[in-house]
C-alpha cells in the first residue's frame, strides 16, 4: 500500500518548500512551456526514419484511389460510347467497360489491403517510438522534476495522449491522404470532363477551406482544455485507488465523489463542446457541398438540354460530385483527431523538452579499480554548496572528506539538510557550487551505470514493483543468480519470511506489495542494496519500519557483508549510530559537530543531548 504521496515528493526536508514555488504555476496548471515549433519537430522526427515506408504507403493509396475513382468514368464511357456501339453490334467498348470495371474492383480491393497493412506498420512503429521516448525521457529526468510533475500526469501523457495520436495515425492520416487524393483526382476528372463544371466544383473549395480553418481554430482551443481536464481526472483517480486504505478509514468516499464529480463534469463539458464544434462544421460543409451539387446540376442540365454537353458526361460529373463531397465528413473526423492529437503532442513535446537537470556526462570517466581488500571508496565534498534555482541556499559551502571504508552517521533534526547531503552524494541533484568526488572522480563525469556501481542509496519508502520477490531483490543486480539473491536475503534475516510466502521467492508481490509488511519491504530493499555491492552505500532512514531484531540483522550484515564499504547512514534511531565510526551532527544546513560517537557522547554538544534523550527513552 504505497501511498500516493510517495509518488510525488517526499524526499527531503523543509528545504523542498522553496523548490516547490519555482515553476509552480506551470506545473500546477499542467502547462509546461513548449518551445515554439517543438510539436512539429517532434512529429517530423517521429516520421523521418520511415520516409521510405511512408512514401510506399502513399504510393499504394495513390494507386488504390486511381482504381476506385475510375468507376464513374467507365459509366460515362458506357452511356456515351458502349450503348451506341452495342446498337451497331460492336461489343468492343462494352467488353472494355466490363474488363475495366473488373480490373478496377480487384485492384481497388487488393491495394486497399496492402495499404492498410503498410500503414498499420508505420503507425505502430511511430507509436512504439513515441511511447519509448516518453518512457525513457521520464526515466532520465531528475528527481526534482518528478517531485513536481506528479505521476498522474506522466501516466496521462503516456496513455491518453499517446492514444489520441494513435487515433490520428490509424484513422486520421489515412483519411486525410484519401481526402486530399480524391479531391485532386476528382477535380482533375471533372475539369477534364468539362472545364466549366469542373471550375464550379473547384470554386466550392474556397468556402470549404474557410470552414476548415474556423473549425481548426475553435476546436484547437477546446481540445487543449479537454486534454488538461482528463489529466486532472486521472490524477484524482490514481490518488484514490492508491490510497484506498486511508480513503476508507477516514470515510473520504463522499468528499472524493464530490471532488471527482467536479473534475469529471469539467471533462464532460469540454467533451460536449468538442462534439458541438464538430456538429457546426458538418452542417456548414454539407451545406456548401450540396449547394455546389445543385448549381452544377442546374448548369449541366441546361447545357445538356441545349445540346452543348453529352448526357454521359453530366451523369459522370454528378457521380463524381457525390464522391467529391463524400469525404468532407471524414475530413471533419480527421480534423477532430488532428486537433486532439495536436493538443496531446504539444503536451508530450513540452515533457520531452524538459532537460534533465542531472545530465549524463559528455566525456565519461571511469572509476579507478578498487584497491584489493578495500571495497569502499573515498568521498570528498569539495567546496560544495547547494540551493534551489529560486535562491535560498540549503547547504552553505562546505568541505567534507569521508575516507574509504568509514561508516558515517548523520544526525540532526528534520530540515537540517541530511537528506540533501545524501542526495548530492547519490547524484540525485548536482551541487550549485563545488564538486562531489568519488575516489577523485567528479560524479558528473560518471555514466549512470558506473555511478551506480559506485554509489547506491536506500530510502525509507520501500517500493515493490509487480513481479516476484526474487525479481524485486534482483533489481540490485539483474544478472544475479538465485543463490546470490538467497544469500543476500539470508544475510539480512529476510529469508525466513520469504520462505513462508506461498511460492517462496517466486511469490508475486501483486499490487505494490499490499501483502508484504512495511518492515518486510524494507528488508527486501536492503537485500537489493546488498546484492548491488556498491562501494558507497547511503541509507536514508532505511530502517525506520524495522523492529529491533530486524535492525540488528541489518547492522550485522553491514558489519560483515558490507565491511569495508563507505557508508553514510541517516537515522533517527541512535542505535544505528552505535555502529558508526564517525558522527556528523547537522543543523540549518551546516555540520555543527564531527567526531567519533564516544567523543561526542562524552562532550557537551547537541549529540550528547540527543544521546541522553535516547537513553532515557529506552528506560
Partner 1 sequence: MPTTPAPAKDRSAVRTLLRLWPYVRPVRVRLFTAAAIAVIASCTGLVIPLVLKWMVDGPVADRDSAGVWLGALSLLLLGAAEAILFGLRRWLVARPLSHVEAEMRADLYRHLQRLPVAFHDRWASGQLLSRGTTDLMLLRMFLAFPLTFLLVNSVTILVGVTIMLLQDWTLGLVVLGPAIPVMVTCVIFENRYARVARRAQDQVGDLTTVVEESVLGIRIIKGFGRHRSQARAFRDLSFGLRGTELHKARLLATIWAVIVTLPELAIGAALVLGTVRVADGELSAGTLVAFLSTALALRWPVDSIGFLLAMSQEAATATERYFEVMDAEPESATDTGTGTGTGTGTGTQERAAAPGGDGLRFHGVTFRYPDADPGSPPVLDRVDLHIRPGESMALVGATGSGKTTLTALVPRLHEVTSGWITLDGEDITAMPREELRARVAVAFEEPTLFSASVGENVLMGAGGDADDGDLERALAVAQAEFVHALPQGTGTQVGEQGLSLSGGQRQRLALARAVVGRPRFLVLDDPLSALDVHTEAAVEAALRRVLADTTALIVAHRPSTVLLADRVALLSGGRVTAVGTHHELLNTNAEYAHLMSGDQEADRR
Task: Report how far residue 542's alpha carbon sits from residue 526's, in angstroms, rounded to the nearest whole number.
Answer: 8
Distance CA(369)–CA(560), nearest Å, equals 22
For partner 1, the closer CB: 241 or 401? 241
Retrieve residue 535's grid coordinates. 562501494
Q: 397 or 477: whose CB is closer to partner 1? A: 477
CA–CA dist 384, 401 (Å, integer): 11
**Secondary structure class of 422 (helix, strand, coil):** helix
DSSP-assigned letter for residue 508: B
CB of 439 to partner 1, least distance (A): 18
Question: How far apart are CB 526 and partner 1 at their closest, in Å?
Answer: 12
Closer CB to partner 1, residue 268 or residue 382?
268
Pick from 173, 172, 170, 224: nearest CA to 346: 224
> What kind and span of H or E run contains 591?
strand 590-595
CA distances from 148 to 279, 427, 452, 488 (A): 39, 18, 24, 35
Helical pair 327-352 and 92-140, crossing angle rounded to 10 deg: 20
- Is the Cβ of residue 37 or residue 272 nearer to partner 1 in the bound state? 272
Find the helix or strand (DSSP H, E) in which 456 lies: strand 455-458
Q: Which stretch of DSSP H or E encloses residue 206?
A: helix 205-242
- Reduce the secondary structure of 295-328 to three states and give it as a string: HHHHHHHHHHHCCCCCHHHHHHHHHHHHHHHCHH
Q: 268 or 506: whose CB is closer to partner 1?
A: 268
Nearest to partner 1 of 280, 370 (CB atom): 280
199/613 with CB nearer partner 1 = 613
Q: Phi then psi for 97, rounded to 5 degrees?
A: -60, -50
The DSSP bridge partners found for residue 400 are 381
Tally of helices (H runs) and strands (E runs) in the chain: 27, 10
Q: Of the two residues 278 and 535, which places its CB atom closer to partner 1 in the complex?
A: 278
Output the smallest distance, CB 571 to partner 1, in A: 9
**Do residues 285 and 332 make contact, with C-beta atoms less than 8 angstroms apart?**
yes
The string of DSSP codes covering 209-236 is HHHHHHHHHHHHHHHHHHHHHHHHHHHH
Quickly list H helices, 573-605: 574-577, 597-602
How far does Cα 166 stand from its chain's mean position?
Answer: 15
- Complex with partner 1: residue 209 or 465, whichever CB lies closer: 465
| C-alpha dist (Å) from residue 119 to 58, 112, 345 | 9, 10, 20
Q: Compare residues 191 and 518 and give the one whose CB is closer to partner 1.
A: 518
Nearer to partner 1, 312 or 405 (CB): 312
Closest approach, Cβ 381 to partner 1, in A, equals: 19
Name the minimum Å distance from CB 586 to partner 1: 11
Tell me the closest approach of the beta carbon of residue 600 to partner 1, in angstroms: 14
Least gap, CB of 382 to partner 1 (angstroms): 23
C-alpha cell at 344: 496531446
Nearest distance, CB of residue 214 and partner 1, angstroms: 15
CB of 44 to partner 1, least distance (A): 21
CA distance 377 to 273: 62
Per the CB < 8 A criterion, the answer to whether 343 and 226 are in contact is: yes
- The least CB distance from residue 37 to partner 1, in Å, is 27
Beta carbon of residue 36, minimum distance to partner 1 (angstroms, whole number): 28
Amino acid at each position: 500500500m504505497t501511498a500516493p504521496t510517495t509518488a510525488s515528493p517526499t524526499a527531503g526536508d523543509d528545504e523542498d518548500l522553496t523548490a516547490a514555488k519555482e515553476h509552480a504555476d506551470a506545473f500546477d496548471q499542467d502547462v509546461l512551456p513548449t518551445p515554439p515549433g517543438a510539436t512539429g519537430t517532434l512529429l517530423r522526427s517521429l516520421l523521418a526514419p520511415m520516409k521510405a515506408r511512408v512514401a510506399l504507403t502513399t504510393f499504394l493509396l495513390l494507386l488504390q484511389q486511381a482504381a476506385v475513382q475510375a468507376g464513374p468514368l467507365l459509366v460515362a464511357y458506357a452511356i456515351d460510347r458502349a450503348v451506341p456501339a452495342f446498337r451497331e453490334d460492336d461489343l468492343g467498348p462494352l467488353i472494355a467497360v466490363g474488363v475495366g470495371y473488373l480490373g478496377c474492383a480487384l485492384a481497388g480491393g487488393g491495394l486497399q489491403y496492402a495499404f492498410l497493412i503498410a500503414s498499420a506498420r508505420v503507425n505502430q512503429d511511430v507509436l512504439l517510438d513515441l511511447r519509448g521516448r516518453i518512457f525513457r525521457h521520464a526515466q532520465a529526468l531528475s528527481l526534482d522534476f518528478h517531485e513536481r510533475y506528479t505521476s498522474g500526469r506522466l501516466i496521462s501523457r503516456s496513455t491518453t495522449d499517446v492514444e489520441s495520436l494513435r487515433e490520428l495515425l490509424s484513422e486520421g492520416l489515412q483519411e486525410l491522404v484519401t481526402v486530399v487524393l480524391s479531391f485532386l483526382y476528382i477535380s482533375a476528372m471533372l475539369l477534364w470532363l468539362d472545364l466549366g463544371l469542373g471550375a464550379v466544383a473547384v470554386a466550392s473549395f474556397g468556402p470549404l477551406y474557410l470552414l476548415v480553418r474556423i473549425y481548426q481554430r475553435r476546436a484547437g482551443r477546446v481540445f487543449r482544455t479537454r486534454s488538461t481536464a482528463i489529466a486532472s481526472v486521472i490524477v484524482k483517480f490514481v490518488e484514490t485507488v492508491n490510497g484506498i486504505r486511508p480513503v476508507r478509514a477516514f470515510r473520504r468516499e463522499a468528499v472524493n465523489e464530490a471532488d471527482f464529480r467536479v473534475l469529471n463534469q469539467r471533462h464532460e463539458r469540454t467533451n460536449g463542446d468538442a462534439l458541438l464544434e464538430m456538429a457546426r462544421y458538418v452542417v456548414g460543409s454539407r451545406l456548401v457541398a450540396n449547394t455546389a451539387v445543385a448549381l452544377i446540376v442546374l448548369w449541366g442540365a441546361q447545357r445538356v438540354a441545349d445540346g452543348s454537353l453529352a448526357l454521359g458526361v453530366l451523369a459522370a460529373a454528378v457521380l463524381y460530385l457525390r464522391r467529391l463531397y463524400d469525404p468532407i465528413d471524414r475530413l471533419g473526423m480527421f480534423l477532430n483527431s488532428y486537433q486532439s492529437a495536436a493538443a496531446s503532442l504539444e503536451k508530450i513535446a513540452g515533457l520531452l523538452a524538459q532537460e534533465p537537470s542531472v545530465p549524463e556526462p559528455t566525456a565519461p570517466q571511469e572509476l579507478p579499480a578498487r584497491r584489493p581488500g578495500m571495497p569502499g571508496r573515498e568521498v570528498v565534498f569539495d567546496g560544495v554548496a547547494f540551493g534551489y534555482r529560486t535562491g535560498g541556499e540549503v547547504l552553505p559551502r562546505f568541505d567534507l572528506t569521508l575516507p574509504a571504508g568509514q561508516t558515517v552517521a548523520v544526525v540532526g533534526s528534520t530540515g537540517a539538510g541530511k537528506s540533501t547531503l545524501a542526495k548530492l552524494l547519490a547524484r540525485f541533484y548536482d551541487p550549485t557550487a563545488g564538486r562531489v568526488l568519488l575516489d577523485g572522480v567528479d560524479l558528473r563525469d560518471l555514466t549512470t551505470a558506473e555511478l551506480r556501481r559506485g554509489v547506491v542509496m536506500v530510502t525509507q519508502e520501500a517500493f515493490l514493483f509487480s513481479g516476484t520477490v526474487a525479481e524485486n531483490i534482483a533489481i540490485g543486480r539483474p544478472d544475479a543468480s538465485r543463490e546470490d539473491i538467497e544469500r543476500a536475503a539470508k544475510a539480512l534475516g529476510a529469508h525466513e519470511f520469504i520462505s513462508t510466502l506461498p511460492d517462496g521467492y517466486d511469490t508475486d508481490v501483486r499490487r505494490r506489495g499490499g501483502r508484504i509488511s512495511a518492515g518486510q519491504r524494507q528488508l527486501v530493499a536492503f537485500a537489493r542494496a546488498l546484492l548491488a555491492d556498491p562501494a558507497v552505500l547511503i541509507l536514508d532512514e532505511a530502517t525506520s519500519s524495522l523492529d529491533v531484531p530486524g535492525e540488528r540483522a541489518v547492522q550485522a550484515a553491514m558489519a560483515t557483508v558490507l565491511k569495508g564499504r563507505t557508508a553514510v547512514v541517516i537515522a533517527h534511531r541512535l542505535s544505528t549510530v552505535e555502529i558508526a565510526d564517525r558522527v556528523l551532527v547537522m543543523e540549518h544546513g551546516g555540520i555543527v559537530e564531527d567526531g567519533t560517537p564516544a567523543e561526542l557522547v562524552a562532550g557537551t554538544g547537541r549529540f550528547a543531548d540527543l544521546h541522553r534523550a535516547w537513553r532515557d527513552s529506552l528506560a
